[in-house]
C-alpha cells in the first residue's frame, strides 16, 4: 500500500450540483477506473477514516475526483493519500458496443471507461436518470427506463450503483429479459 501527499487545487460543481475536486498528486498515485484512493485532510485531527476518491477524469499533474467529496475540503487542503486500492477495471479489447448504467449518485465514476474504449468502436451508451455532465460527442445518453428495450444491444454492460440498489437492478434486468 502506497502513501503519498496531495493537495486540493480546485473545486467544481458537477451536473447534479455535487462537488468534484481536482487532486494534485504524483502520476503513480492517480487511480485507474475501478480503483480508489483513501484521502484524509492532514489538518483535520478529527478525521479518523479517509474519504474514498474515485477517478472522474485524469489530467496533467493529478485528477478530478468524482463526487462525493467532503464538504469541508477547499482549494489548498493538503491530503494524505493511500493507494491506489482495488484491482481497477480494463475493458476487454473485443468490446464494440459498451453500455454504461449509472444508478448511484453520479455518472462521473463511469466516464473514465469512455476513454478506454476509444473511437474505433461502434458505440457507447449511458443509461441513467441522473443529471448529465459535459459528455463526449461519441457517448449517447438515454433514460434508465430505455435500458430494458435494448438489453441485447451492448456487448458489455458496466454498472455503477450502491449495494442497496442491487435488488432493483435484478428487477430491471429480469423484466428486460422477459420481453426478449
Task: Show the 3-state SS of 22-89.
Answer: EEECCHHHCCCCCCEEEEEECCCCCCCCCEEEEEEEEECCEEEECCCCCCCCCCCCEEEEEEEECCCC
CATH of span 97-178: 3.40.50
Residue 157 phi/psi, 5-degree rounding, is: -115, 135
Q: What local confidence, expressed as pLDDT, does residue 179 receive?
A: 47
| Grid coordinates of 87 | 484491482
Q: Which of 22-31, 36-45, 109-118 has the lowest mean pLDDT?
A: 109-118
Q: What's the pLDDT band for 24 if we cut at 50, 70, 90?
A: very high
Question: In the chain, pLDDT over 70 holds for what percent of residues?
Answer: 88
- CA–CA distance, 43 with 65 (Å, rounded to integer): 20
Closest CA to 53 of 73, 146, 61, 126: 73
Q: What's the pLDDT band for 81 if we cut at 50, 70, 90?
A: very high
Contacts of 60 (CB under 8 A, 6+ apart): none
The residues of the chain that CATH labels 3.40.50 are: 97-178
Identify the residue with better confidence: 169 or 75: 75
Residue 141, helix vs strand vs coil: strand
Q: What's the pLDDT band for 39 if we cut at 50, 70, 90?
A: very high
Exposure string for 10-44, b = 16+ CB within 10 A, e = fewer = eeeebeeebebbbbbbeeebbbbbbbbbbbbbeee
The residues of the chain that CATH labels 2.40.30.20 are: 3-85
For the domain made up of 3-85, give the CATH fold.
Answer: Elongation Factor Tu (Ef-tu); domain 3 (2.40.30)
Q: What is the pTM of this model?
A: 0.78
Amino acid at each position: 500500500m502506497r502513501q503519498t501527499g496531495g493537495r486540493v487545487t480546485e473545486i467544481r460543481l458537477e451536473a447534479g450540483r455535487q462537488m468534484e475536486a481536482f487532486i494534485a498528486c504524483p502520476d503513480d498515485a492517480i487511480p485507474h477506473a475501478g480503483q480508489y484512493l483513501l484521502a484524509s485532510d492532514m489538518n483535520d485531527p478529527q478525521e479518523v477514516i479517509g474519504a474514498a476518491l474515485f477517478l472522474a477524469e485524469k489530467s496533467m499533474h493529478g485528477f478530478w475526483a468524482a463526487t462525493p467529496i467532503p464538504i469541508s475540503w477547499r482549494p489548498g487542503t493538503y491530503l494524505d493519500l493511500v493507494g491506489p486500492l482495488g484491482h481497477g477495471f480494463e475493458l476487454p479489447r473485443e468490446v464494440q458496443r459498451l453500455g454504461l448504467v449509472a444508478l448511484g449518485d453520479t455518472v462521473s465514476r463511469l466516464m473514465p471507461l469512455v476513454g478506454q474504449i476509444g473511437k474505433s468502436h461502434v458505440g457507447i451508451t449511458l443509461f441513467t436518470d441522473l443529471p448529465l455532465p459535459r459528455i463526449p460527442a461519441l457517448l449517447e445518453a438515454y433514460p434508465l427506463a430505455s435500458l430494458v428495450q435494448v438489453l441485447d444491444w451492448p456487448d458489455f454492460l458496466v454498472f455503477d450503483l450502491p449495494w442497496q440498489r442491487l435488488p432493483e437492478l435484478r428487477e430491471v434486468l429480469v423484466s428486460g429479459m422477459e420481453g426478449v
